[in-house]
């Protein structure tokens, strides 16, 4: 069974932010599951590989929920639709950021934390790293704003493991281009996605014990062989 979840306190100023009611310090550590997040830019193969990871974890008879952001609850899914819909009105940075964290607050308090507190594993398709990458890297939102909201919404809780599927932006956009209608984010240009990728890579190098960087430009079989090793090392 998994070790107790690690909590990253490096960016948390406890004196300035009220500690979240959802703090996982109340978790019965002997039962604790792990909070795993899958991330990456456009066309990296998240959807393809999420199911693969889910199957590995379920094969170990671990109690798991699979969820996604933005979304994961009825209200958060409604906010997702608002966020992704292409629109003529320009969505200002703060509105996008706050909507993203509004969806996260609902999802986090009503689904993620109860699951972790009951000892379940949580596999989440994107989480706050996506905000650092898309709103921070892509839109240029100041990191301190994101940190403030992260601390407000999540208290001291951070994912135990973040798996980043990484691929050259050009390859990713080519793969994603095979899909139909583009959402509001998918309509962004190449330099936006270059900045998103940079932000992911920067975060991955700062905390190598929590981040697992996978070269997703490889053929799917090789990507999944690396994912299998990664998940095995997480399960222990
Ligand atoms: N967003 C944000 O801005 N801030 C936040 O805080 C959060 C999110 C949480 C929705 O996310 C948007 O929300 C997202 C960021 C923003 N916008 N964008 N872009 P999403 O996760 O729901 O949407 P997505 O990024 O489009 O994810 P996706 O659907 O999982 O796409 P994907 O990674 O491209 O996955 P795929 O469909 O599995 O793969 C694409 C194609 O590549 C497909 O044809 C596969 O068969 C193929 N593929 C996959 N792997 C390979 C390999 N290894 N070789 C060759 N071909 C492959």
pLDDT score of 37 more than 60? yes
The ligand 1 atom at the shortest distance from the C-alpha of residue 165 is 33
How remote is the CA of residue 46 from the centroid of ligand 1, in Å? 5
Region 29-40 average pLDDT: 83
Q: What is the pLDDT of residues 170-229, one digit of tens each?
A: 999 999 887 778 899 999 999 999 999 999 999 999 999 999 999 999 999 999 999 999
* Lowest pLDDT segment from 2-16, 30-44, 136-150: 2-16
Contact 41, 172 (CB under 8 A): yes
Atom 48, ligand 1: which residue's CA is nearest? 45
101 touches ligand 1 (CB under 6 Å): no
Residue 32's pLDDT is what?
80
Residue 215's pLDDT is what?
98
216 touches ligand 1 (CB under 6 Å): yes
How remote is the CA of residue 17 from the centroid of ligand 1, in Å? 33
State which of 42, 48, 216, 227 you would mutate to test the pocket of ligand 1, scoring each by most atoms of that ligand within 8 A of its C-beta: 48
Q: pLDDT band at residue 41, thresholds of 50, 70 and 90?
A: very high
Residue 28's pLDDT is what?
40
Instruction: Mark residue 138 as left, alpha or beta (left: phi above 0; alpha: psi -120 to 50; beta: remaining).
Output: alpha
Q: Which pair of structure tokens corresponds to residue 117?
A: 């507190």
How remote is the CA of residue 210 from the centroid of ligand 1, in Å? 21
pLDDT score of 9 more than 50? no
125 touches ligand 1 (CB under 6 Å): yes
Q: What is the pLDDT of residues 61-117, one digit of tens each?
A: 999 999 999 999 999 999 999 999 999 999 999 999 999 999 999 999 999 999 999
Residue 27's pLDDT is what?
41
**pLDDT > 90 in the chain, percent:** 82
160 touches ligand 1 (CB under 6 Å): no
The residue among 165, 58, 52, 149 whose CA lies nearest residue 108 is 149
Region 142-163 average pLDDT: 98
Residue 176's pLDDT is what?
87
Q: What is the mean pLDDT of the chain?
A: 89
């Amino acid at each position: 069974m998994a070790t107790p979840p690690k909590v990253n306190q490096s960016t948390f100023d406890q004196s300035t932010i009220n500690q979240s009611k959802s703090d996982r310090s109340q978790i019965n550590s002997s039962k604790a599951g792990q909070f795993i997040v899958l991330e990456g830019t456009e066309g990296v193969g998240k959807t393809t590989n999420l199911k693969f990871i889910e199957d590995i974890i379920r094969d170990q008879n671990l109690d798991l929920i699979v969820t996604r952001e933005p979304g994961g609850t009825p209200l958060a899914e409604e906010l997702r639709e608002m966020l992704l819909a292409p629109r003529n009105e320009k969505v200002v940075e703060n509105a996008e950021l706050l909507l993203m964290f509004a969806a996260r607050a609902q999802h986090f308090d009503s689904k993620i934390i109860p699951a972790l507190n009951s000892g379940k594993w949580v596999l989440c398709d994107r989480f706050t790293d996506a905000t650092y990458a898309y709103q921070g890297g892509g839109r240029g939102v100041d990191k301190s704003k994101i940190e403030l909201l992260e601390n407000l919404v999540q208290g001291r809780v951070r994912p135990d493991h973040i798996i980043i599927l990484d691929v050259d932006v050009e390859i990713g956009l080519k793969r994603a281009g095979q899909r139909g209608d583009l959402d509001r984010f998918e309509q962004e240009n190449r330099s936006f996605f270059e900045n998103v990728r940079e932000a992911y890579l920067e975060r991955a190098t700062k905390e190598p014990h929590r981040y697992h960087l996978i070269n997703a430009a490889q053929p799917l079989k090789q990507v999944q062989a690396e994912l299998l090793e990664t998940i095995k090392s997480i399960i222990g």
